């Protein structure tokens, strides 16, 4: 099933024409409403009239996460505040989160894009669908939620946590679809097995999995253990949230909603655009966004755009699975974590040396984050001669990390100089997760 | 009236305690009393020794997380009830004991106490029948 064949199955020429028209319009819009972009274009001696076709996109400047940070909180917002009806926030690289405001029209486009994803997965009005991404500042929960309502299925806003109750609901309500991270799906399967819930007692048949990279092997395991068909769901809050791209029944690459999000692949070092089939950094331009449109946003995700047509009938371009990052961002339980965020917290507490190590692992299918910090000798005074005082110091660090990272980290206190120094570039992250 | 105690942060790893004790050995400093407050993740080693200042500098120079804190070292002999007397006195004066440990050998002992109100605890001990060992006596306290 296809939600919007008019857009999803457009001829390539029509699509290019539409993208060109929309690109011109969005450039004109940001030129007049976002000083940041106006200055950038003026510096490059460009006006909106220089952007006529979609191929002109290569003339435009890139936008980076740093630009979002430098313009915190509303510097890149194009619409007046009175038009913004929702604000989400995702991880920034340090201190400040990335703020994204949506107009009523943006929420409508988002729901439409999400409805296209769900329809491609085979979700319809008869389904009972549980959204098990976190509801809140993270775009996952509410983003998927709106789409499920749009297609008319019954949405169960399960969110995250309380897995046993969720498993019971899946069985008792006959829930047929679920959106969550792939690692949570495996954790759910394990919980069900421990509770004695078997595959034939549940009716799950569709899974929308995203917010973290996963592999074909994980897909096989999830499909086998939960008895469903698992589909990739890709998105990022800087562009919209979940629904930027989605797999169809072919499960071979994710179709990009390219009438709204125009993709490019570039060489992350030279910034030169790369042809289809070649792997590089994924870049998106929002073609219709009103709240916070971005031009050529560097996602830092590495993948390729796949050449050739898909057997499902959609003509939209597909992206390959994400193979890595061109920066040091980690994805832990679906949440983006930058080592620099941890650094800013550690540096803010004088009791710790400005040195740390992140140890990421996956235990029972759930990601864990351990932050190792060194006590600083000159601040280890008589105040700290009881475990209560040391534990209190540790708790302060845990609390600060939670408020900055939005996930719980375990803190491991180390003696001064106990964290191994490496030759040359310091190793700040040990990722023991094995994506099989 | 108080003496300097060394508090040393130890990770729960084989060899961390040995490293610290070797430093005392090499410096020729005698450990008179010690205790370890253990937690799942780390230990806190507390030491009363013959030359706490020198031990502190040696440990610090070797990069150990070490702190000096003021504790009472109360002399004990063979009469039962001495520890009870001190503890009752502190409790009646509403003074909390942060931690304490003791050691006793051949008729002679030491009770180490850290109180949450040092000044008030001093008065309680002065009023008691017991005596605090001053730090200068620790050098040949055996």
The per-residue pLDDT for range B3-45, each reduced to its tens digit, is 999 999 999 989 999 999 999 999 999 999 999 999 999 999 9
Indicate whether B76 and B131 sit together in one domain.
Answer: yes
- How confident is the model at residue B137, as a pLDDT? 85
Indicate whether B65 and B76 sit together in one domain.
Answer: no
According to DSSP, the β-strands at B31-38 and B2-11 are: unpaired
pTM score, whole prediction? 0.81
- Interatomic CA distance for residues A168 and A165, integer angstroms: 5
Q: Which of B15, B49, B69 is where one domain is finished? A: B69
Indicate whether B77 and B122 sit together in one domain.
Answer: yes
Q: Does B60 reside within a domain?
A: yes
Nearest C-alpha in A relative to B65? A377
Q: Does B142 reside within a domain?
A: no
Q: Which residues of A touch B98 (CB under 8 A)?
A: 386
Could you report the predicted ipTM of this complex, rounded to two decimals? 0.88
The per-residue pLDDT for range B93-140, each reduced to its tens digit, is 999 999 999 988 888 889 999 999 999 999 999 999 999 998 888 877
The nearest CA of chain B is from the CA of A386 a distance in Å of: 7
Indicate whether B64 and B32 sit together in one domain.
Answer: yes
The count of domains in chain B is: 2
Return the residue in B42, B45, B97 with the most chain A beta carbons within 10 A, the one to mutate for interface testing: B42
Indicate whether B75 and B120 sit together in one domain.
Answer: yes
Element (DSSP H or E) covering residue B115: strand B108-115
- The residues near B56 (Cβ < 8 Å, ≥ 6 apart) are B4, B6, B66, B68
- Interatomic CA distance for residues A27 and A52, integer angstroms: 10
Element (DSSP H or E) covering residue A412: strand A410-414
* Structure-model confidence comparison of residues B88 and B105, the more confident one: B88
The per-residue pLDDT for range A342-384, each reduced to its tens digit, is 988 998 999 998 889 999 999 888 899 999 999 999 899 999 9
C-alpha torsion sign, points A5, A6, A7, A12 = positive
Helix intervals (H) in A202-338:
216-226
Q: pLDDT band for B142, please (50, 70, 90 cuts).
A: low
Indicate whether B79 and B51 sit together in one domain.
Answer: no
- How confident is the model at residue A420, as a pLDDT? 78
- How confident is the model at residue A321, as a pLDDT? 93
Residue A137 · residue A101 · CB < 8 Å: no
Burial bucket for residue B97 (CB in 10 Å: 0-12, 13-18, 19+): middle
C-alpha torsion sign, points B68, B74, B76, B82 = negative
Contact at CB, B67 and A390, closer than 8 angstroms: no
Q: Does B141 reside within a domain?
A: no
Domain span at B56 = 2-69
Q: Does B140 reside within a domain?
A: no
Helix intervals (H) in A173-315:
182-195, 216-226
Q: Does B13 reside within a domain?
A: yes
Indicate whether B21 and B77 sit together in one domain.
Answer: no
C-alpha torsion sign, points A235, A240, A245, A246 = positive
Indicate whether B64 and B44 sit together in one domain.
Answer: yes
Q: Which residue ranges in chain A fall short of pLDDT 70?
A: 95, 422-426, 435-436
Angle of CA points A387, A395, A158, to nearest 5°: 140
Indicate whether B82 and B113 sit together in one domain.
Answer: yes
A285 closest CA partner among A300, A268, A299: A299
Chain B residues at the A interface, defined by Cβ less than 8 Å, are 5, 7, 9-11, 16, 37, 39, 41-42, 44, 46, 60, 63-70, 98-99, 114
Indicate whether B33 and B84 sit together in one domain.
Answer: no
Q: Does B43 reside within a domain?
A: yes
CATH number, domain containing residue B16: 3.30.2130.10
Q: Does B101 reside within a domain?
A: yes
Q: Which of B51, B69, B87 is where one domain is finished? A: B69
């Amino acid at each position: 099933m296809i939600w919007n064949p008019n857009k999803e199955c457009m001829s390539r020429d029509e699509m290019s024409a539409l993208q060109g028209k929309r690109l011109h319009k969005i450039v004109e819009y940001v030129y007049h409403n976002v000083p940041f972009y106006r200055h950038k274009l003026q510096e490059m001696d460009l006006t909106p009239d220089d952007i006529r076709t979609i191929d002109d996109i290569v003339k435009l400047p890139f936008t980076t996460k740093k630009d979002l940070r430098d313009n915190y909180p509303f510097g890149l917002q194009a619409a007046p505040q009175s038009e913004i009806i929702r604000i989400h926030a995702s991880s920034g690289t340090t201190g400040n989160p990335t703020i994204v405001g949506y107009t009523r029209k943006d929420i409508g486009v988002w729901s439409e894009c999400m409805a296209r994803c769900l329809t491609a997965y085979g979700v319809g009005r008869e389904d009972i669908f549980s959204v098990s991404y976190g509801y809140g500042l993270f775009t996952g929960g509410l983003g998927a939620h709106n789409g499920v309502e749009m297609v008319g299925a019954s949405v169960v806003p399960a969110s995250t946590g309380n897995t046993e109750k969720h498993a019971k609901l899946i069985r008792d309500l006959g829930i047929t679809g679920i959106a969550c991270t792939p690692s949570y799906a495996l954790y759910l399967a394990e919980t069900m097995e421990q509770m004695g819930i078997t595959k034939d007692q549940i009716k799950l048949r569709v899974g929308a999995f995203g917010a973290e990279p996963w592999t074909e092997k994980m897909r096989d395991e999830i499909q086998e253990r939960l008895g469903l068909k698992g589909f990739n769901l890709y998105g990022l809050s800087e562009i919209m949230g979940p629904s930027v791209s989605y797999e169809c029944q072919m499960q071979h690459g994710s179709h990009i909603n390219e009438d709204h999000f125009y993709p490019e692949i570039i060489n992350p070092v030279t910034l030169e655009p790369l042809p289809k089939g070649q792997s590089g950094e994924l870049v998106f331009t929002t073609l219709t966004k009103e709240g916070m449109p971005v031009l050529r946003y560097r996602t830092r995700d590495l993948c390729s755009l796949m050449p050739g047509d898909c057997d499902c009938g959609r003509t939209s371009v597909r992206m390959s699975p994400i193979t890595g990052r061109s920066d040091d961002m980690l994805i832990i339980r679906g949440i983006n974590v930058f080592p620099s965020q941890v650094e800013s917290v550690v540096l803010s507490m004088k009791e710790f040396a400005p040195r740390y190590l992140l140890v990421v692992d996956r235990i029972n299918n759930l990601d864990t984050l351990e932050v190792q910090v060194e006590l600083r000798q000159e601040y280890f005074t008589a105040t700290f001669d009881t475990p209560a005082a040391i534990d209190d110091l540790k708790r302060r660090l845990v609390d600060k990390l939670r408020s900055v990272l939005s996930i719980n980290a375990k803190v491991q206190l180390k003696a001064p100089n106990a964290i191994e120094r490496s030759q040359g570039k310091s190793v700040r992250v040990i990722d023991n997760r094995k994506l099989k | 009236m108080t003496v300097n105690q060394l508090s040393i942060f130890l990770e729960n790893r084989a060899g961390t305690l040995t490293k610290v004790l070797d430093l005392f050995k090499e410096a020729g400093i005698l450990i008179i009393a010690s205790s370890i407050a253990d937690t799942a993740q780390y230990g806190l080693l507390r030491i009363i020794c013959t030359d706490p200042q020198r031990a502190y500098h040696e440990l610090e120079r070797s990069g150990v997380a070490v702190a000096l804190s003021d504790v009472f070292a109360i002399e004990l002999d063979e009469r039962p009830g001495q520890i009870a007397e001190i503890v009752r006195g502190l409790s009646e004066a509403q003074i909390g004991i942060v931690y304490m440990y003791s050691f006793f050998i051949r008729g002679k002992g030491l009770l180490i106490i850290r109180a949450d109100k040092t000044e008030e605890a001093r008065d309680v001990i002065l009023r008691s029948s017991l005596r605090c060992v001053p730090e200068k006596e620790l050098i040949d306290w055996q």
